Amino acid sequence: MIPVNDIQGLKVLITGASSGIGAAAARAFSRSGAEVTIHYNKRREEAESLAAALREEGGTAHVVSGDVTRAEDAEDIVARSVAMMGGLDCLVNNAGAILRSPSADFDEAIYDQVFDLNTRSILRMVRYSGPALKASDRASVINLGSIAGRNGGAPGSGLYAAAKAAVHSLTRALAREMAADGVRVNAIAPGVIETPFHDETPESALNAALAAIPLARLGTAEDCAWSFVFLASPTMAGYITGQILDINGGQLMP
């Protein structure tokens, strides 16, 4: 049997990769032989530490900073990443955050923040990554959706859920539009994953989610990490595009 080794030398940029799912994805890619650029906005120490750890393991890792909600920063993030790696094969749009606010108490500023980070940033990153991805013969984009984008989210997370539903729809639209250039576009939709993302989630909400999960545990970042590698692999996922991969322990079975 021929082993799947087509991640070797893959040039990967992961946004929001200093912790949580993004950091776990960076480790999985690096351990599969990919060259990884770890993007961060505020957590420089964590990003640098992760890159150093990957290098100690024999990997090639770079670090780049910037705010993906700013067009000029997004362009610079891509330009520096492409320069450091000498190209780009896989863009992972992982950066995101939740701002809780009751939908009935609609707030213009919170709306802009939530959609700008979770949805519009993807369009920025894809736009600036386009030329490098088109030049690759194994190009893909992997977006981070959410179970919230499937079920509307928990109380107070309606705007976040709507933004992630938009990510799912945008993923399908991009898959159709970029197919002619040989770029596959997919998304991963995690359920409740134990990462810093949920540091401020009420324990009662986490317990309620746990009670609804058939596998009877919350997810970990590592539960998601290798699915990024799978979707980036031309051998394993070369005929997969426009798909939303749910990773939620069975909490939601669409």
DSSP 221-243: HHHHHHHHHHHH-HHHHTT--S-
Kindly state the DSSP code that residue 249 receives in the 8-state scheme.
T
Contacts of residue 194, Cβ cutoff 8 Å, sequence gap at least 6: 218, 219, 220, 221
Render pLDDT for 208-234 as a digit per residue (tens, 0 to 9).
888 889 999 999 999 999 999 999 999
Identify whether the C-beta of residue 127 lies closer than 8 Å to the C-beta of residue 142: no
Give the pLDDT of residue 199: 61
Give the pLDDT of residue 205: 73
Render pLDDT for 140-197 as a digit per residue (tens, 0 to 9).
999 999 999 999 888 778 899 999 999 999 999 999 999 999 999 999 999 998 876 6
Give the pLDDT of residue 238: 97
35-47: average pLDDT: 96
Catalytic annotation, pick one of 111, 128, 160, 239: 160
Alpha carbons within 13 angstroms on the beta-carbon side of residue 195 total 24
pTM of the model: 0.94
Amino acid at 82: V
Q: Lowest-pLDDT range, 35-39, 173-177, 194-198, 242-246?
A: 194-198
Band of residue 2 on the pLDDT scale cut at 50, 70, 90: low
49-66: average pLDDT: 98
User: 91 - beta bridge partners?
Assistant: 13, 141
Give the pLDDT of residue 203: 73
Give the pLDDT of residue 197: 61
Residue 239 bears catalytic tag: no
Give the pLDDT of residue 200: 62
Render pLDDT for 58-110 as a digit per residue (tens, 0 to 9).
999 999 999 999 999 999 999 999 999 999 999 999 999 887 777 777 788 88
**In the chain, what are the domains?**
11-247 (3.40.50.720)
Identify whether the C-beta of residue 5 lies closer than 8 Å to the C-beta of residue 31: no
